């Protein structure tokens, strides 16, 4: 199959502008394809193939299928390495928060992947380049293409570079959610009430605000927190309250 693709590529080279476009994405990926035809296939939406009636080029769905499996294995490997004491259930939840359409589309946007996708005119007019589902699918197809062009060690390095920030953020958010959940459980167990969060201050310009939240139990202040979002400020207030809950009385 690979030999046949190489023959096709030699007989029908891509236009100069396509070579430049694909080469630019290679720089973003930090990977140079041996068979550039694979990258073109990974970026070819079925609307583009249908409108142009290519005989030798498939759309990206088969590579997407492969990339989905490779990505899940890569993320699982990273979680095993970085969380050696975590339980299977916890890692499964964390992986699900990373390998989903929203997270994948955000990673795709860090590569500006929408700019490189080959779309049909109809999909182009419907702003397909901005659709989360299309971006997520294309990213998986590109990962599948890299794997098919190289080996697992190579694609694992790319997955690690692209997804470690996502893993770190997901881990941080999971820990923060646990602060609020744990406080809720502790307060209900001790006082039979729910903690109340109150926004008391917000400072700074719209693009860089800081929020301050106070937390109350039965009308009495039990903690406070600041953050760049209301949610983060509430999470920090919950952590502060948990640290002083042993000394708190209503």
| Domain with residues 2-173, CATH architecture | Orthogonal Bundle (1.10)
Most confident of 12-26, 60-74, 92-106: 60-74
Exposure class string for 201-223: b at 16+ Cβ within 10 A, else e: eeeeeeeeeebbbbbbbeeeebb
pLDDT tens-digit series, residues 40-79: 999 999 888 887 776 667 888 999 999 999 999 999 999 9
pLDDT > 80? residue 154: yes
* CATH class, 193-247 region: alpha beta
In this structure, of 58-62, 125-129, 151-155, 198-202, the range with the lowest mean pLDDT score is 125-129
Angle at 125 between CA 127 and CA 28, to 5 degrees: 45
Catalytic member of 68, 137, 149, 240: 68
User: Could you write out the three-class secondary structure of 31-62?
Assistant: CCCCCHHHHHHHCECHHHHHHHCCCCCCCCHH
Provide, rounded to the nearest whole percent, the portion of the chain with pLDDT above 70: 91
Per the annotation, the verdict on 68 as an active-site residue is yes
Catalytic member of 123, 140, 149, 234: 140
Per the annotation, the verdict on 137 as an active-site residue is no
Mean predicted confidence (pLDDT) in 190-205: 92
Mean predicted confidence (pLDDT) in 206-225: 91
pLDDT tens-digit series, residues 125-138: 888 888 899 999 99
Name the residue ranges covered by the structural domains of the chain.
2-173, 193-247
Q: What is the pLDDT of residue 168?
A: 85
């Amino acid at each position: 199959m690979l030999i046949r693709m190489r023959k096709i590529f030699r007989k029908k080279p891509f236009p100069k502008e396509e070579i430049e476009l694909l080469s630019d994405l290679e720089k973003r990926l930090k990977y140079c394809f041996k068979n550039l035809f694979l990258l073109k296939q990974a970026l070819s939406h079925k609307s583009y193939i249908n409108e142009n009636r290519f005989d030798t080029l498939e759309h990206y769905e088969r590579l997407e299928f492969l990339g989905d499996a490779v990505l899940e294995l890569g993320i699982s490997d990273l979680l095993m390495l970085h969380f050696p004491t975590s339980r299977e259930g916890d890692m499964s939840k964390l992986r699900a928060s990373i390998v989903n359409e929203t997270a994948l589309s955000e990673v795709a946007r860090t590569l500006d992947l929408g700019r490189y996708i080959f779309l049909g005119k109809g999909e182009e007019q419907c702003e397909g380049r901005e659709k989360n589902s299309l971006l997520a699918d294309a990213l998986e197809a590109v990962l599948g293409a890299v794997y098919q062009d190289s080996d697992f060690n190579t694609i694992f390095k790319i997955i690690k570079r692209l997804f470690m920030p996502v893993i770190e953020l997901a881990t941080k958010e999971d820990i923060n959610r646990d602060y609020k959940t744990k406080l809720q459980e502790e307060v209900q167990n001790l006082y039979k009430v729910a903690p109340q969060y109150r926004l008391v201050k917000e400072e700074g310009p719209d693009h860089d605000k800081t929020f301050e939240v106070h937390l109350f139990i039965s009308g009495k202040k039990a903690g406070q927190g600041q953050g760049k979002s209301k949610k983060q400020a509430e999470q920090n207030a919950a952590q502060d309250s948990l640290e002083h809950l042993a000394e708190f009385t209503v």
